[in-house]
């Protein structure tokens, strides 16, 4: 079995006394900055003027222009949106990093697809949390953590692995498990997971179920509870104890339905499409399309985002969640942040 590292296995000394520049203060940025600070490390946040800048200041961080934060850092963690990283790297990071310092990422996309070609005199590593940034922070505060992968692209100092592992521990990941990967494996599996299963697969499954029920004349509220709200309750059981735990908890009728109907919905045809998705990730077709879409100002992204937002499941969900104050509303939080 692959070696999984925990706090007791990791040499925290490797990061001690090093100044860490967190570039970006969004989903991952705020979590890395706050967790590392709480783990006892010195953090400076690199940003342009704007919302995140004000937020990081409010949260008590020293905030500087990206170039200035990078210039004084021993580790620069790039937590900008992937599509903005190449430009900011060229303009503000590349010429300001100290020789023998480390350049780090939370996702391998730009290095793997050659959108950022790093300087040769710095370490380059990856610490990729396998979870959304807000949970990286929330679980840390709960004395838990989100697992993470680390990988090394360039090891000039000879210490890149130790620094990467200590960084992963600093954000709380070694409470949950830290595994070695490569930039290639992290990039390809991350893109595949979010496209085929976690985000794309899940939203398409939920919408298709919701539409099937409402088109058959059932109440949208019932369809929402059945196909979306209850998803979390079921997934929590899988998260805690695997599919066997979920199946233990549901009724035998539900379990029989799982066995006979699940494979009719997600079948060999679906798996063949998953293989197509994986092939286009591996051969760079997906990356090229996304890079071009950004260069064109995101016409398709914005149109689809708008259509999706106007799906009937959005409104019924907002109304129902307003009546369940115990349910957090991340989409509405994002709306406040101007992201939707
Ligand atoms: P967000 O979109 O949440 O945050 C982006 C941050 O970058 C904001 O603080 C934004 O500030 C800042 N920013 C954007 N453009 C610039 C710029 N030109 N100059 C300076 N600051 C800028 O990003 P994520 O946290 O989602 O993603 C960061 C990285 O983490 C990516 O590589 C992603 O793949 C990876 N990752 C993300 C996960 C997630 O949970 N979201 C999970 C695992 C990895 P402003 O307010 O000024 O716009
Ligand atoms: Mg991911
Ligand atoms: Mg991703």
Q: What is the C-alpha to C-alpha distance for residues 63 and 54, in angstroms, rounded to an integer?
A: 9
Tell me the mean pLDDT per 10 residues along the chain, length 340. Answer: 95 96 98 98 98 98 98 98 97 98 98 98 98 96 97 98 98 98 98 98 98 98 98 96 97 98 98 98 98 97 98 96 81 47
Ligand nearest the Cα of residue 286 is 3
| Buried/exposed code over 84-96 (b: 16+ C-beta within 10 A; e: otherwise) | ebbebbeebbbeb
Strands annotated E in 79-166 = 102-105, 123-129, 148-154
C-alpha gyration radius of the chain: 22
Q: What are the structure tokens assigned to 339, written together? A: 């992201």
Look up residue 31 and give its two tokens: 């979590």
Residue 57 Cα to ligand 2 middle (Å): 28
Please report the pLDDT score of residue 325 as a whole number: 86
Torsion angle, CA of 245/246/249/251, rounded to 10 degrees? -130
CB atoms within 5 A of ion ligand 3 belong to 190, 194
Angle (CA) 43-49-53 rounded to 5° is 40
- Quote the pLDDT of residue 329: 53
User: Is 107 an annotated catalytic residue?
Assistant: yes
Domain boundaries, the chain: 7-181, 193-336
Those residues whose beta carbon sits under 5 angstroms from the ion ligand 2 are: 190
Ligand 1 mutation target, pool 80, 89, 106, most atoms within 8 A of CB: 80
Nearest CA to ligand 1 atom 11: 52
- 8 A C-beta contact, residue 56 and residue 103: no
- Cα(191) to centroid(ligand 3), Å: 6
The reported pTM is: 0.93
The CATH T-level fold of domain 7-181 is Rossmann fold (3.40.50)
C-alpha 192/C-alpha 314 separation (Å) is 25
Q: Give the integer Cα–Cα distance in Å for 209 and 215.
A: 10
Report residue 155 as tokens.
């090891």
Pocket of ligand 1 (CB under 6 A): 24-29, 47-48, 50-52, 66, 79-82, 84, 88, 106-107, 128-129, 132-133
Give 301 Cα–ligand 2 centroid separation in angstroms: 19
Order of strands, sheet of 178-180, starting from the edge strand that comes earlier in the sequence: 62-64, 42-46, 19-23, 75-78, 102-105, 123-129, 148-154, 178-180
List the catalytic residue out of 32, 107, 112, 311.
107
Does 230 count as an annotated binding residue?
A: yes
DSSP bridge pairs for 63: 45
Instruction: Identify each DSSP E strand in the chain by its residue range.
Output: 19-23, 42-46, 62-64, 75-78, 102-105, 123-129, 148-154, 178-180
């Amino acid at each position: 079995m692959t070696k999984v590292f925990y706090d007791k296995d990791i040499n925290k000394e490797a990061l001690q006394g090093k100044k860490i520049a967190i570039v970006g203060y969004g989903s991952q940025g705020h979590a890395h900055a706050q967790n590392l600070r709480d783990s006892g490390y010195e953090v400076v946040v690199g940003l342009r003027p704007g919302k995140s800048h004000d937020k990081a200041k409010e949260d008590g961080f020293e905030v500087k222009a990206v170039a200035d934060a990078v210039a004084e850092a021993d580790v620069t963690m790039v937590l900008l949106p992937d599509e903005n990283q190449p430009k900011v790297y060229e303009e503000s990071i590349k010429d300001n990093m100290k020789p023998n310092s480390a350049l780090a990422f939370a996702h391998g996309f730009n290095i793997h697809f050659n959108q950022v070609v790093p300087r040769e005199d710095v370490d380059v590593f990856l610490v990729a949390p396998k979870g959304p940034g807000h949970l990286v922070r929330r679980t840390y505060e709960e004395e838990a953590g989100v697992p993470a992968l680390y990988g090394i692209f360039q090891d000039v100092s000879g210490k890149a692995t130790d620094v990467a592992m200590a960084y992963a521990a600093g954000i709380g990941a070694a409470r949950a498990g830290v595994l070695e990967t490569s930039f290639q494996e992290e990039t390809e599996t991350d893109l595949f997971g979010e496209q085929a299963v976690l985000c794309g697969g899940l939203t398409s499954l939920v919408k298709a179920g919701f539409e099937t029920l409402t088109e058959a004349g059932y109440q949208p509220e019932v369809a929402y509870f059945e196909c979306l709200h209850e998803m979390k309750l079921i997934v929590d059981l899988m998260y805690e104890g695997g599919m066997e735990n979920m199946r233990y908890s549901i009724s035998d009728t539900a379990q029989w339905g799982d066995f006979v109907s699940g494979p009719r919905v997600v079948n060999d045809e679906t798996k063949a499409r998953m293989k197509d998705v994986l092939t286009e990730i591996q051969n760079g077709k997906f990356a090229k399309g996304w890079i071009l879409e950004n260069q064109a100002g995101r016409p398709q992204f914005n149109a689809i985002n708008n259509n999706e937002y106007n799906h009937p499941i959005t409104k019924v969900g907002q109304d129902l969640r307003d009546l369940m104050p115990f349910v957090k509303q991340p989409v509405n939080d994002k709306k406040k942040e101007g992201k939707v």
